[in-house]
Structure 1
Amino acid sequence: MEFNEAKALMFKKLGTSKIMALASSVDDYVMVRNVSCLFYDDKIYFKTDKNFRKTQQLFKNPRVALCVGGVQVEGIAVNKGLVVEEEGRKFETAYKKYLWQSYNAYSHEDTEILIEVTPVFVEIWDEDENRYAFQTFIDFEKQSVEVKAYDQKD
């Protein structure tokens, strides 16, 4: 499998939006919580209040991991500023469309910032047509892919 094919597989599995578990750490203090994510421009985006503990962790250590349904993404988080100030307001428009309940419940224009996560390394758990498990590892820095069988075939 080529790098671009693996990257397309990852974004296909993620779809347009997902609730993902976000892990962050500062000084060996690890936190995990759910965030509502959108996927576009080969990146992962979510919004958060700039005053939350998780956000303060991201400011101190931008290395994060996100996980949902067998897809784990390790990446670098960047504060892109207030959601309402994003050029073209792409996130806000898609968030209203795909995550309306969350948008309606958690919109605070003066404190909500947009976080962009650039994937660095991805691990996808999957299975073939015979239900044999395998992993696909995608290294974004090296633009390489490795597929490893997990189950032994008889």
Structure 2
Amino acid sequence: MRDHDAVRLTEDERSVIRALRPAMAALMRVFDEDLEKSQRLSHAEYIAMMFLSEAPGRTMRLSDLAELCQQSPSAVGRTVKRLEAEGLVGRQQSVQDARSFNAVLSEAGLARLEEAAPVHEASVRRHFFDQLEGVDLGKLAVAFQRIAQNP
């Protein structure tokens, strides 16, 4: 018997798998729409600023930011360029590696992030957490962490 024939998915498991990608796409779309509508920020911009706000000195190598945002370096570079044009993020050459650049969240960027946070949190609550009534969030978080660590 081949490995892929060994264990068949149950109907519930198949339903979860079928629903996963459309659900994630829908969440990203509504998070983006909510932020764009009231804050003129994309979800990608918000997430990049969020990670920068949590970094020491609000500074991070662009390649590290791309990894955290789960985007290509070029996509994060475009996001940082848009934020830089608005004075929300600065870009500086890394002192550790002259070939790489850092993104730095400015004071204006931090203020903008703090202004957008309630909108994002309300969107996350409405579109995600309110749909998880009865689900053990602690177990769900652990499961998501295991999935992310063991691709």
Please indicate the TM-score interval, normalised by the length of the shorter structure: 0.3 to 0.5
Where is the strand percentage greater, Structure 1 or Structure 2?
1
TM-score normalised to the size of structure 2? 0.32
Where is the helix percentage greater, Structure 1 or Structure 2?
2
TM-score normalised to the size of structure 1? 0.32
